[in-house]
Amino acid sequence: MDKYMVPEKPVSENPNPKPNPRLRWRRSTIELDGKFDSKYRHDLSSLLMQSYSEIGAFPHLYHIDGNPCPTHMIRMNNAFNAGRQAPFQMQGISAVDFDNKGIYLVSVTKSGCLTVHDFETLYCLSNESLLCSKEDETKHLLHLSLQRQLDVVRWNLANQDEVGCISLKSDEALIFDIGYISSKPVQVLRTRRPLSVLGSEICKGLCDITFTTDVSRLVASDTHGVVNIWDRRMGILPCLELTTGSHGNLNSIRSNVENQTILGAGKDGIIYMWDLRGGRTAAAFQCHKEVKY
């Protein structure tokens, strides 16, 4: 009988051998829970330090074509004539802002200088020295000397040839066309001045400004907790005023992409929101980690 039986195939140890499995890609801890573990920080500490390091320093020494900036000198002379202590120390740059493409950088100073820089030129100068002892005025595409304090500057999102400047000391929003070398703004927008108990006008300073994607609309917050919205086609006064119920400064203000919602935040630790489409009341979100005294 054995000769009629089919011989059994030898059993191998691994009848279906599989290729060696490849090492699976390990997701870093920060991608899973948003936290840095100690090993991850140690491995990338050098890269992190390099990315956080200063690449250049570009001082603004209040000069134009080698001569002292007229704005800075006029402020010093006015202070001296008024008997006040002259601001011999530089008051510094108060705000900077990039255009949409990151090509140009605009800056303003407390002394009233409005300067437009070419960022590529600034970046190339960073290879020379971290601390420049002398200002390189070749990096200025435009330098205007204004006889007023400037605290905030913003590019126009709809028109990259325009920048807007405001000051905590003034209720005017100045719009400049950087395509022309002129110290006069192309448009000056003003807030409505409320009346005091004695009947005199109360001047309100402006804290922050933002342009919307709508070419004609401009939004600014003031020192009395009011959001002013201008339609530049209608006039120099706001067409709409949004109140917060608080008389404190609204330090920051922004609009969403669709220009339907305005958000503002102030010193009281509250974020205010307004829906410009109507039909909805304003909302407020308080940061519980902030304490108001």
pLDDT the model gives residue 176? 93
pLDDT the model gives residue 157? 83
Asked if residues 93 and 107 have their Cβ atoms less than 8 Å apart, the reply is yes
Tokens of 222: 């003031």
What are the Cα distances from residue 160, in Å, to 63, 155, 216, 258, 259? 26, 6, 14, 19, 18
Residue range 154-171: mean pLDDT, rounded: 91
Domain residue ranges in the chain: 55-150, 191-293
The C-alpha R_g of the chain, in whole angstroms, comes to: 30
Residue range 182-199: mean pLDDT, rounded: 83
pLDDT the model gives residue 185? 92
Q: DSSP code of 201?
A: B
pLDDT the model gives residue 95? 93
pLDDT the model gives residue 148? 86
**CB neighbours of residue 215 within 10 Å:** 13
Tokens of 74: 């006029």
Residue 78: pLDDT band with limits 50, 70, 90: low
pLDDT value at 7 more than 90: no
Q: Considering the chain, what percentage of its residues have pLDDT values greater than 90?
A: 21
Tokens of 25: 């890609």
How many Cα atoms sit within 13 Å of 43 on the Cβ side? 7
CA end-to-end distance (rounded Å), the chain = 104
Class of domain 191-293: mainly beta
pLDDT the model gives residue 293? 37
In sequence order, what are the beta bridge partners of 78?
Answer: none
**CB neighbours of residue 103 within 10 Å:** 11
